[in-house]
Amino acid sequence: MEINIRQWIVSVMILGALLMGGCAQQDATSQAPNLPTEPPVTAQAPDAFSNLPRLEGKATVQMVIKGKNVLIEVDGSKAPITAGNFVDLVQRQVYDGVVFHRVVRDPQPFVAQGGDPQSKKPQADPRTFGTGGFIDPTTGQERSIPLEITPEGAPSPVYGSPLQSAGINQPPVLKHKRGAVAMARSQAPNSASAQFYFALSDLEFLDGNYAVFGQVIEGMDVVDGIQQGDRIDSAQVVEGLENLRSNGPS
């Protein structure tokens, strides 16, 4: 029986909400992702996040998956906090050994999501994968970063709200093209922490709702081959580390 295209699009969008719902913080919206969410967070000034790492420019991260290299260009010029957080976590070896706990390819290639720090623990319960974030060892608290999206033509990012909720009709500069790397989060806009995903195809309907911060520039065939349960062998910054700024204890 042929699939109704409109129903398929709706089902994929719901799947996207469920996918991002199991991220760093399990709140009410994570448990019931189809319920109305709280009012959008007002866009906040960057000074509110001055304690977070920032990437001023670009960097290249080499990720080894099943013994094969994937190169990621991380763009701090359009997503400085999101990119800085990722590069900082790479430097801390947070991603070494973590699992890709959710890989969706049907009815068409969607995402490969990983980065939950608790998934590297040998005795961890796989049923909890997708609920963890980065715990800062200096504070004992989970680091959360704001939703950060730069619209086309804007001089700086919009913080704390999807673009449409902020009344912005311009598309983002960094889009969900095949090979894009973006942060997973719950329905709370500022709940991203460590989990990220690779876009396995163009995912335009996610643009403006989730923060893209990088792009696979080499090894997309490796990304296409990721299976649920595969681990990241290692990740390291091979270029642009000098652009990382750490302005606080996090």
| 101 closest CA partner among 236, 197, 223, 243 | 197
Q: For residue 210, what are its two tokens?
A: 């989730």
CATH number of the structural domain spanning residue 64: 2.40.100.10
Contact in structure between 222 and 66 (CB atoms under 8 Å): yes
Strand blocks (E) in the chain:
54-55, 58-65, 68-75, 100-104, 111-114, 148-149, 158-159, 180-183, 196-199, 212-218, 232-239, 244-245
User: To which residue do tokens 């349960």 refer?
Assistant: 229
For residue 16, being part of any structural domain is answered with: no
Residue 212: which of 152, 129, 166, 165 has the closest Cα?
152
Task: Round the CA-based radius of gyration of the chain to a whole number and report it.
Answer: 17
Structural domain contains residue 33: no
Q: Following CA atoms 238, 152, 199, 180 in sequence, which dihedral angle do they give, to the nearest 10 degrees?
A: -10
Per-residue pLDDT of the chain (250 residues; tens, 9 = 90+): 333 444 444 445 544 544 544 443 333 223 322 323 333 444 555 677 889 999 999 999 999 999 999 999 999 999 999 999 999 999 999 999 999 999 999 999 999 999 999 999 888 899 999 999 999 998 899 999 999 999 999 999 999 999 999 999 999 999 999 999 999 999 999 999 999 999 999 999 999 999 999 999 999 999 999 999 999 999 999 999 999 998 654 4
Of 142, 156, 158, which Cα lies nearest the Cα of 211? 158
Query: Is position 11 within any domain?
Result: no
In a domain? residue 15 = no
Q: Is residue 24 part of a domain?
A: no
**Host domain of residue 198:** 41-245
* Global pTM value: 0.84
- 155: exposed, middle or buried (C-beta count within 10 Å: 0-12, 13-18, 19+)? exposed
**Considering Cα of 236, then 66, then 143, then 110, what sign does the dihedral take?**
positive
Closest CA to 189 of 213, 215, 158, 168: 158
Residue 134 lies in a domain: yes
Q: How many domains does the chain have?
A: 1
Residue 237 domain-assigned? yes
> Six-digit token pair at 45?
């000034």
